């Protein structure tokens, strides 16, 4: 922006003020005369010819005067018109916004509309027996006793998670189910006792206790599909993590100890340093 401003000012000075133009031509001619290459000598001839033409114009209009500078009001107006836009742009210094990715911008607008629009309604709960299969129990022990009450979740987190569920269905055809949302400190403590393969967060050290975390999986052909060993489910988890990040959620699949079905809405001061600094499985 500064370079553009200086170029405009220099151009105005050269065009409007004869003395400035003469000095510039003289300096260029001296520089080109010192050159050793043919194209520099050709440039010298061009500028020398231009200077002779300029001198002829001045002599025809009167010494020291050129038709451009004969009217002071016109000169001032031209200078003002050329300099004002650059000056305003330099003073405002607002960053330019370029939106070339149509598909991405549309997706962002859709997410913004969903987040700021009417409240989405939670899906109908699945029967408890859907969470007692061996596959679910291997990944989420005692999942049948977990809370899937959407109303116990933080309202902001609940809406973001519902947006993720909706976009997973509309864009990728994955129907998602909530495995566990709010988790009491007592349940967190009992899961912690089962070992680090279940959770590394002790009681009150998980966002589950604050309604700011949830564990989810997929529903296909009347069954809950939770294991990432299923290639279809693994692909779903990756898409799930991408959309979760777009709505401002943290995905457990990016942790050192991956927790693919877990997402959380982090807030400063909610937890101690442990889980926030290490990204422990919640």
Task: Dump pLDDT digits (tens) for 238-248.
Answer: 999 999 999 99
pLDDT class of 13 with cuts at 50, 70, 90: low
**What does the DSSP 8-state code read for residue 262?**
E
**What does the DSSP 8-state code read for residue 69?**
T
Domains and CATH numbers, the chain: 2-92 (no CATH), 102-278 (3.30.1380.10)
**Average pLDDT score, the chain:** 76
pLDDT class of 281 with cuts at 50, 70, 90: low
pLDDT at 274: 44
pLDDT at 131: 95
CA–CA separation, 51 and 63 (whole Å): 14
Tokens describing residue 228: 């990432």
- Give me the mean pLDDT over the 3-22 stretch: 62
* DSSP of 203-230: TT-SGGGGT-EEEEEEEETTEEE--TTS
pLDDT at 227: 94
Assessment of whether the complete model's pTM goes beyond 0.95: no
CA–CA separation, 244 and 160 (whole Å): 8
CA–CA separation, 76 and 217 (whole Å): 71
**Residues in a beta bridge with 176:** 218
Task: Dump pLDDT digits (tens) for 21-55.
Answer: 667 667 666 665 665 555 555 555 555 555 554 55
- Give me the mean pLDDT over the 115-137 stretch: 90
CA–CA separation, 220 and 225 (whole Å): 7
Tokens describing residue 71: 């009217």
């Amino acid at each position: 922006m500064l370079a553009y401003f200086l170029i405009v000012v220099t151009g105005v000075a050269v065009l409007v003020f004869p003395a400035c133009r003469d000095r510039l031509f003289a300096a260029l001619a001296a520089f080109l005369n010192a050159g050793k290459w043919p194209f520099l000598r050709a440039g010298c001839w061009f500028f020398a010819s231009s200077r002779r033409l300029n001198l002829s114009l001045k002599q025809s209009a009167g010494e020291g005067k050129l038709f451009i500078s004969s009217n002071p009001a016109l000169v001032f107006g031209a200078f003002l018109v050329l300099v004002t836009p650059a000056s305003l742009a330099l003073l405002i210094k607002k960053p330019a916004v370029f939106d070339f990715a149509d598909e991405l911008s549309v997706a962002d607008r859709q997410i913004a509309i969903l987040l700021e629009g009417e409240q989405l309604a939670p899906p109908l709960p699945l029967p408890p027996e859907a969470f007692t299969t061996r596959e679910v129990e291997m990944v989420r022990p005692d999942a049948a006793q977990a809370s899937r009450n959407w109303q116990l979740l933080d309202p902001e987190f609940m809406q973001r998670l519902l947006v993720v569920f909706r976009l997973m269905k509309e864009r990728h055809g994955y129907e998602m189910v909530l495995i566990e949302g709010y988790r009491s400190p007592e349940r967190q403590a009992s899961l912690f006792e089962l070992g680090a393969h279940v959770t590394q967060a002790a009681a009150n050290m998980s966002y589950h206790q604050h309604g700011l975390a949830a564990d989810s999986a997929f529903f296909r052909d009347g069954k809950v599909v939770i294991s990432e060993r299923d290639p279809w489910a693994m692909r779903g988890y990756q898409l799930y993590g991408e959309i979760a990040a777009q709505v401002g959620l943290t995905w457990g699949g990016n942790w050192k100890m991956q927790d693919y079905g877990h997402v959380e809405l982090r807030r400063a001061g909610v937890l101690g340093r442990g889980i926030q600094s290490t990204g422990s499985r919640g």
